[in-house]
Structure 1
Amino acid sequence: MNMTKNRNSLYIFSITFVATLGGLLFGYDTAVISGAEKSIENYLINGLGLSSFIHGITTSSALIGCIIGGIIAGFFSSTFGRKKSLIVASILFLLSALGSAYPEFLFFEVGEPTIGLLLTFNFYRIIGGIGVGLASAIVPMYIGEIAPATIRGRLVSFNQFAIIFGMLVVYFVNWGIARGQSLDWINEMGWRFMFASEAIPALLFGVFLFFVPETPRYLALTNQESKALTILTKINGKNTASNILQDIKQSKSASKSKLFAYGKTVIVIGILLSVFQQFVGINVALYYAPRIFESMGAAKDASMLQTIVMGLVNVIFTIIAIITVDKLGRRPLLITGSIGMAVGMFGVAGLAFANIISIGTLIFIIIYTASFMMSWGPICWVLISEIFPNKIRGQAVAIAVAAQWAANYLVSSTYPMMMEYSGGMTYGIYGIVSVISALFVWKFVPETKGKTLEEMENMWNNSKETKIS
């Protein structure tokens, strides 16, 4: 019995590991810009005499692709399956890494910035963003549909760990590339190596995906029940697998494919979870971290080193979430994290209003990001992967993720302009949203700890019937 348990655990964790490489690339692609954005500003923005608004759009251009990827994720995952959709994402990551590193390829001269070159660079970043959008929707969905209910929260949280680990890796890579180099070299060549480095994990992700199975729930929903049973048996054992398959079949026959078949509440909650995760301002801290630390007086390579420290803190607190999510539940972690984020952002806002830039700023930023990483970072993805019923999961997750990336883009692209107006006001707004997010969870978000995906479906069915009666 123990041997079977060990074998099943090894199988589950190996599948999860491959899937979370998509999360690692998600983090890598979104954070690589943090080391390169000032060089891009120097080369393409200042070189063309463009405004800070265009700089904000360029820095955040991958998010346009993320929105597109989130929107099409439902169609891709439902039509081609979870696995094939992730293979498409890996190809997009690879193309983006190489194209962003050398946007002049075929059509432009190196060192001669033009509007066409700026658009081409943004195009490659958008291509990578589509890959991120696909991965961000489908990886947690894939893990959620593979994982046993008792450890689903932990396994889906590994995706957030991979995202943060990907960011930490690229912080080290960026720092290693910039360390000891002149600013001129970084602005001319260093940023290219930063983008090109993503090609390595992208290639590994694409290769490893050929060795993992499609999810049993997708197979069952597409009338491939024998394949679904084989995978469920490897994961859960023969008796449990048969019961799970029976639940999936009942869900399949009872469900309707319309998005609002289970009422509007579950869709609205999923969207608001996604929006709140971004409106608290987390990606401001992630995208612009070196610039924030430089404003505190740190040199270029020192600011990247401080970013690494922040990345390490993020990893530690994500591990805390992984350990506790299936013990404490989703709601307590979200509410606690919201309170911590509010403290951090109000602290940064207060120092900004007082025109004080000190180690206190760094401490409050770390309090803020640590609170996010132990709560909204991983738990939002856990909830999005599990609250939606089987038959609408592909569409609903896609809508929630698209809303998340749209909110991300709005926050990230407006940050430079908001900071020009008032840094204290900017961080204060993020603190207020953090408080509102806690109230939202307390009032509307259900606890999902320990429930199977099919039990969650029954909960929404019962909720809808109660409202009707």
Structure 2
Amino acid sequence: MENFTFNKRFIIGLTLVSAMGGLLFGYDWVVIGGAKPFYERFFYITHSAVLQGWAMSSALIGCLIGAVFSGYLSDRYGRKLPLILAALLFLVSAIGTGAVDHFTPFIIYRLIGGVGIGLASTISPMYIAEISPAPMRGRLVSVNQLTIVIGILSAQIVNYLIAEKVAPGTSDEVIRNSWNGQMGWRWMFWAEAFPAFAFLVLAFFIPESPRFLAKTGNNEGCMTILGKIGGAHYARDEAANIRETLKDPSSKINWKALWEKSVRPMIIIGIVITAFQQWCGINVIFNYADEIFTAAGYSVSDMLFNIVITGTVNLVFTLVAMRVVDKWGRRKLMLLGAAGLAIIYVLLGASYFTGIRGIPILTLIVMAIAVYAMTLAPVTWVVLAEIFPNRIRGAAMAVGTTSLWTACFLLTYTFPLLNKALKASGTFWLYAVICIAGFLFILRKLPETKGRSLEEIEKELIG
């Protein structure tokens, strides 16, 4: 495959359009963290840990719904149509969330946005993996994580630029009646509508996945797309490999096949690594920056600036990951991430426990985000898009992302409760234990997949 000449402009164009799902995923997921100090005052929920947790985690219920149905939609209707649907849901959610005056419709629109995230988080990396030649696949699938990170950083910058400065010690009532409390948080959500509309338009112009076309018997369409990617010889060889791995090229989904003895180990790996990517705890830093930085002695305005710093670090080290994922390999990076986070969390917990505040806390948080951005964040999506057989990839990806969003919901909903019961120190020590367990699982169970075609990986794992 190394001897083929690939149409990089075409491949990168498809990758960037599909990865806009990742951009909106990142923005929609994180924007609420910066809006949190203001909408909580607006809706009078500052003294209810349950309602605070529900506001933060409600979108994750939508993510679960989107992830569950993504398998059916992608295996029944292809990869393109669900991406269009995800774009439409992002657009509706962005406009609706900022327009409401009551807590219940706020939650409803967050749920709608969550469904868009659930669809995009499954289908964007799957589409990219299925149009990518093996030598480029790790970097190209990592583009989806890059756009997630750009979406995260965009939300953090937008939040910082929109919010007016809040003086330390400002009361809830003053914040509620300020521009931040009445309009600022709305514009944080409305800003997402612009990229959502662009994604909706552009998604109509990308072709269907060649592997889905082959799966549904459209061999001519499959050959056409593969030919545009790598030429006639590449199309012939790749199409032959795809057909060999498709036992039943029909659009009917066989959910029982997910638990066949030969497939089960891959499904278990997918469930565990996606749950671990969330339970490693890093995402609470983005969603609960208010509590974490306040506990470290920072004000609301300082918090908004600090999360821009963490977002920038996130972006820089995601770019580092794209450089090394096809050189170092997936397994090595996953092990590095699990071990690095465990060590940092032990130190972070000790800092909170001993009353250390300010710069040391910020430094450890930045280090944790750097480690996560270079390892677990992008590589989990790469592995998830690679390890499942062609004939069940849509359904299997749905299982993996359902596991991810279930874990994310539990993480996000329980953090305020854990933080109240265990304090910040005990909570981060708990995440350290989880990281050690994740390290041991990856060490024992995760195979290396770099540099192999999807069909070669399937043959090796199934035997």
On whether the aligned pair clears a TM of 0.5, the verdict is: yes
Q: 1:203-242 counterparts in 2 under 5 A?
A: 203-242=197-236
Query: Which residue in the other structure is 1:303 paired with?
Result: 303
Q: Is the 8 A contact 1:45 1:55 kept in 2?
A: no
Q: Distance in 2 between matches of 1:135 and 1:227?
A: 24
Q: Which AA in structure 2 matches 1:198?
A: E
Deviation at 1:369, TM superposition (A): 1.1
**Runs (4+) off by over 4 Å:** none
Is residue 149 of structure 1 aligned with residue 106 of structure 2? no
Query: Which residue in the other structure is 1:46 paired with?
Result: 45
Is residue 100 of structure 1 aligned with residue 97 of structure 2? yes
Is residue 456 of structure 1 aligned with residue 457 of structure 2? yes
Deviation at 1:79, TM superposition (A): 1.1
Q: Distance in 1 between matches of 2:300 and 2:282?
A: 22
Q: Distance in 2 between matches of 1:254 and 1:82?
A: 19
Query: Which residue in the other structure is 1:243 paired with?
Result: 237
Q: 1:313-462 counterparts in 2 under 5 A?
A: 313-421=313-421, 422-462=423-463
Deviation at 1:224, TM superposition (A): 1.1
Q: Distance in 2 between matches of 1:173 and 1:358?
A: 24
Q: Distance in 2 between matches of 1:180 and 1:375?
A: 35
Deviation at 1:181, TM superposition (A): 7.1
Task: Tell me the alpha carbon deviations over residues 180-239 of structure 1, each in whole angstroms, 9 at most, x when there is no partner.
Answer: 478421011100000111100100001111111111000111111111101101111110
Q: Is the 8 A contact 2:298 2:358 kept in 1?
A: no
Deviation at 1:298, TM superposition (A): 2.6
Q: 1:92-171 counterparts in 2 under 5 A?
A: 92-104=89-101, 117-171=102-156
Q: Distance in 2 between matches of 1:424 and 1:101?
A: 35
Query: Which residue in the other structure is 1:27 paired with?
Result: 26
TM-score (norm 2): 0.93
Q: Is the 8 A contact 2:345 2:428 kept in 1?
A: yes
Q: Distance in 1 between matches of 2:462 and 2:166?
A: 60
Q: Distance in 2 between matches of 1:324 and 1:46?
A: 44
Deviation at 1:254, TM superposition (A): 6.4
Q: Which AA in structure 2 matches 1:101?
A: G
Q: Is the 8 A contact 1:339 1:438 kept in 2?
A: yes
Gaps in structure 2 of 5+ consecutive residues: 168-174
Task: Tell me the alpha carbon deviations over residues 47-88 of structure 1, each in whole angstroms, 9 at most, x when there is no partner.
Answer: 8xx621121111111001001111010011111110100000
Deviation at 1:418, TM superposition (A): 1.0
Q: Distance in 2 between matches of 1:254 and 1:40?
A: 51
Query: Which residue in the other structure is 1:58 paired with?
Result: 55
Mean CA deviation greater in 288-297 or 191-200: 288-297
Q: Is the 8 A contact 1:290 1:307 kept in 2?
A: no
Partner SS, residue 437 of structure 1:
helix
Q: Which AA in structure 1 matches 2:412?
A: S
Q: Which AA in structure 2 matches 1:155?
A: L
Q: Is the 8 A contact 1:314 1:373 kept in 2?
A: yes
Q: Which AA in structure 2 matches 1:411?
A: L
Deviation at 1:330, TM superposition (A): 0.3
Partner SS, residue 46 of structure 1:
coil
Aligned pair count reads 444
Q: Distance in 2 between matches of 1:173 and 1:291?
A: 20
Q: Distance in 2 between matches of 1:291 and 1:149?
A: 43
Deviation at 1:323, TM superposition (A): 0.5
Is residue 172 of structure 1 aligned with residue 171 of structure 2? no
Query: Which residue in the other structure is 1:284 paired with?
Result: 284
Is residue 186 of structure 1 aligned with residue 180 of structure 2? yes
Q: Distance in 1 between matches of 2:30 and 2:198?
A: 19
Query: Which residue in the other structure is 1:466 paired with?
Result: none
Query: Which residue in the other structure is 1:110 paired with?
Result: none
Q: Distance in 1 between matches of 2:367 and 2:374?
A: 11
Deviation at 1:94, TM superposition (A): 0.5
Q: Is the 8 A contact 2:294 2:300 kept in 1?
A: yes
Deviation at 1:98, TM superposition (A): 0.8
TM-score (norm 1): 0.92
Query: Which residue in the other structure is 1:112 paired with?
Result: none
